[in-house]
Amino acid sequence: MRAWPQGQGAHPRAGQITRVGAKRRRVRVRGDSGRTSRNAGAGMHLKIVGSAAGGGFPQWNCNYRLSRAARAGTAGVEARTQSSLAASADGVAWVLFNASPDIRQQIAATPELQPRADGPLRSSPIGAVVLTNADVDHVAGLLSLRERQPFAIYATEQVLAVLAANPIFNVLDPAIVPRRRLQQGGTLDIADAEGRPTGITVESFAVPGKIALYLETSSRPDADFSSDSGDTIGVRISDGGRSAYYIPGCAGIDAALRARLAGAACLLFDGTLYTDDEMIVAGVGQKTGRRMGHLSISGERGAMAGLSGLDIGRRVFVHINNTNPVLDTNSPEHAAVRAAGWEIAHDGMEIEL
Amino acid sequence: MRAWPQGQGAHPRAGQITRVGAKRRRVRVRGDSGRTSRNAGAGMHLKIVGSAAGGGFPQWNCNYRLSRAARAGTAGVEARTQSSLAASADGVAWVLFNASPDIRQQIAATPELQPRADGPLRSSPIGAVVLTNADVDHVAGLLSLRERQPFAIYATEQVLAVLAANPIFNVLDPAIVPRRRLQQGGTLDIADAEGRPTGITVESFAVPGKIALYLETSSRPDADFSSDSGDTIGVRISDGGRSAYYIPGCAGIDAALRARLAGAACLLFDGTLYTDDEMIVAGVGQKTGRRMGHLSISGERGAMAGLSGLDIGRRVFVHINNTNPVLDTNSPEHAAVRAAGWEIAHDGMEIEL
């Protein structure tokens, strides 16, 4: 674990968690304004700010029955923005996991992520953004976090290389928005641009996945761009005590992943597709889930089967594609998922740990 | 003007305008379904899908009184998405002018831009996107128009070079989404990906502007990145008969621009700032409007003064920054603009010509 920056221990900022002595204790510090967050209190706060896969729900050019139902406002079929999660140790400082293209709309819908009423003229409670891969639906939102606002970006070497290869991301001046490497295997205190800890720590680990779509050198449905060397990662998010696993993209479940997740208090997991050939059957695409780096929810090799029998407190499907029948709460697939002990994420869903 | 692709004349597609003989006539063709657009009818249709400048209104990290009022839902202070305009000759096929980062939200709010009820499983009425510069708030939305949906991109050589320099835009496979050069001075029929005319023609011309922010090599407020060689263009949009000028970014008004705009039926013009030093006075920035490539609405060198006395049918300010007091309909600045014969754009504003 990285040490806290010198001098922070003596004068913790508002809402910061301090650790005293050998036994972990929580000391909440109120800001000068005396304001405390609505959510302030013991425990880690998670808020799913976007629960759909790339393209969102409805998707701009999709005329499949689910996107149509969402546009029509059909009961039980709720629209969703693209994949993003916010985490906070104190309900005041927040860390975003992935920056979706919908981030402006998402911040507008999430008071916790807006400037504080007593804050400076330009300010944000978002101290850092952690990227789990370089997919457009996870990085394009960085382009909306401009305006010379300091925050820190954390990503693997591969993802940082993608940002570096696209000069448009220089709208975020690295002198104001530092880019920090997320190493696999270790645990890292996530700090803001100035190095102040957010109270959130992250342990990252590679999961079976694939490289980003726009890095592919062939569009053939049968081409193989699978990768398990850090192009796609999962993260364990913690406030030092409680923790949750966030794995929005995963191509398969192996014994190592099962061992890692056993005993988890909370798991937010890749729920892109219900069946591997769902997009082909729906007539909207030529690729299987496996080709896209996503296992399915159902089936022998799917997430429900692969993670059954494990002691996991809450298990929630996130990153849900617009073809997935679980998006309709009246569907048998939705019922099957709920019966198996899983929840289906929706935008604005809050989880307190 | 480009000729129509061979064979199109004989079997025009639904809603297409055909021209017969020397005298322009309109022949509306109904689709197989018999559906015609709500807007179908003589005349050109313009819809302002986003009326704010870069950052939108409210801006994610802005705590200035106007962004706060918009978040609070204050009467007379309406939230706005980032700059984009849609144009159609027939109310069926649409051309987008600029692709803002908010494009997914904008399409969700604009039925005309959604797949037709009787359309294929993947489809869009957006046949082409015309880019007037390479600013993030005008190009980032391209990243949300993925999913292998054919449409055409039109931009100047400079803007196309920016897309080429950022491989992330390869999510739009050029084999599916062709990139076409918009030459200055000429008039071009805007066609869709397959070369079918949309019914919209565009004449483009350079206006005083500047290069995109992320292409700047210095962030100093006094640096000069002004350009009048095509980094920023204005366009005259026409359906072959009626026309409108769209100039969302402009650093100044000279005699040539006044001469061009004289007699225009409609002008949508850069309304970024009310006063040149507005962002400095508001305490949210260090740059003048001039430094950012935008003249102001007021003042001796501003748009109202510079375009006064010209015979222009409707004059509408677009691309409005979150510091601009005209965003409050109860402000004296809003009243002054209205008294001078100008309108203030809002999201969803429709103009029929």
For residue range B144-161, what is the model confidence (pLDDT) as tens digits? Answer: 998 789 999 999 898 999
Q: Which residues of B317-338 are buried (b: 16+ CB within 10 A; e: fewer)?
A: bbbbbbbbbbbbeebebbebbe
Contact A102 B105 (CB under 8 A): yes
Average pLDDT over residues B291-305: 93
Q: Using 50, 70 and 90 to split pLDDT, how confident is the model at A226? A: low
Q: Is the model's pLDDT at A20 over the cut of 50?
A: no
Average pLDDT over residues A236-254: 94
What is the Cα–Cα distance from A272 to A275, expressed in whole angstroms?
9
What is the Cα–Cα distance from A270 to A294, expressed in whole angstroms?
7
Within 8 A of A33 by CB-CB distance, chain B residues are: none
Q: Using 50, 70 and 90 to split pLDDT, how confident is the model at B7? A: very low
Asked if B273 contacts B249 with a C-beta cutoff of 8 angstroms, the reply is: no
Place of tokens 């144009």: B87
Within 8 A of B83 by CB-CB distance, chain A residues are: none
SS3 A142: helix
Q: Using 50, 70 and 90 to split pLDDT, how confident is the model at A286? A: confident
Q: Say if A266 falls within a structural domain.
A: yes
Average pLDDT over residues B276-301: 89
- Least confident among A229-233, A297-301, B26-30: B26-30
Q: Is the model's pLDDT at A71 over the cut of 70?
A: yes
Q: Using 50, 70 and 90 to split pLDDT, how confident is the model at B28? A: very low
Asked if B113 contacts B86 with a C-beta cutoff of 8 angstroms, the reply is: yes
Q: Is the model's pLDDT at A289 over the cut of 60?
A: yes
Within a 13 Å sphere around the CA of B2, how many CA atoms are in the beta-carbon half? 20
Predicted pLDDT at A28: 36
The minimal CB distance from B146 to the residues A136, A147, A215 is found for A136
Q: Using 50, 70 and 90 to split pLDDT, how confident is the model at A113? A: very high
Q: Say if B6 falls within a structural domain.
A: no
Q: Is the model's pLDDT at A231 over the cut of 90?
A: no
- Least confident among A5-14, A149-158, B313-322, B335-344: A5-14
Q: Is the model's pLDDT at A295 over the cut of 90?
A: yes
Closest CA to B87 of B122, B43, B53: B43
Average pLDDT over residues A211-234: 60
Boundaries of domain holding B102: 18-212+222-352
Q: Say if A2 falls within a structural domain.
A: no
Q: Does A120 touch chain B (CB under 8 A)?
A: yes
Q: Does B220 touch chain A (CB under 8 A)?
A: no
Q: Does A100 touch chain B (CB under 8 A)?
A: no
Between A77 and B16, the more confident residue is: A77
Predicted pLDDT at B202: 97
The CATH number assigned to the domain holding A335 equals: 3.60.15.10
Predicted pLDDT at A13: 37
Q: Say if B107 falls within a structural domain.
A: yes
Predicted pLDDT at B154: 97
Q: Using 50, 70 and 90 to split pLDDT, how confident is the model at B210? A: low
Q: Say if A12 falls within a structural domain.
A: no
The partner residues of B236 in beta bridges, in order of sequence, read B203, B245
Closest CA to A345 of A136, A38, A57: A57
Q: Is it true that the peptide bond before A58 is cis, omega within 30 degrees of 0?
A: yes
Between A334 and B147, the more confident residue is: A334
Within 8 A of B140 by CB-CB distance, chain A residues are: 101, 140, 143-144, 168
- Least confident among A245-254, A266-275, A281-290: A281-290
Range of A279-293, B76-90, B205-219 with top mean pLDDT: B76-90
Q: Using 50, 70 and 90 to split pLDDT, how confident is the model at B4? A: very low
Within 8 A of A143 by CB-CB distance, chain B residues are: 101, 136, 140
Q: Say if A6 falls within a structural domain.
A: no
Q: Say if A11 falls within a structural domain.
A: no
Predicted pLDDT at A290: 83
What is the Cα–Cα distance from B99 to B133, expressed in whole angstroms?
10
Q: Say if A5 falls within a structural domain.
A: no
Q: Is the model's pLDDT at A73 over the cut of 70?
A: yes
What is the Cα–Cα distance from B78 to A99, expressed in whole angstroms?
26
Asked if A323 contacts A282 with a C-beta cutoff of 8 angstroms, the reply is: yes
Domain count, chain A: 1
The minimal CB distance from B213 to the residues A116, A149, A171 is found for A171
Asked if B85 contacts B103 with a C-beta cutoff of 8 angstroms, the reply is: no
Within 8 A of B106 by CB-CB distance, chain A residues are: none
Predicted pLDDT at B222: 59
Q: Using 50, 70 and 90 to split pLDDT, how confident is the model at B26? A: very low
Q: Does B193 touch chain A (CB under 8 A)?
A: no
Predicted pLDDT at A230: 54
Q: Does B65 touch chain A (CB under 8 A)?
A: no
Q: Using 50, 70 and 90 to split pLDDT, how confident is the model at A291? A: confident
What is the Cα–Cα distance from A190 to A152, expressed in whole angstroms?
9
What is the Cα–Cα distance from A332 to A330, expressed in whole angstroms?
7
Average pLDDT, chain A: 85
Q: Using 50, 70 and 90 to split pLDDT, how confident is the model at B68? A: very high
Residue A168: Cβ-neighbour burial (10 angstroms; 0-12, 13-18, 19+): buried
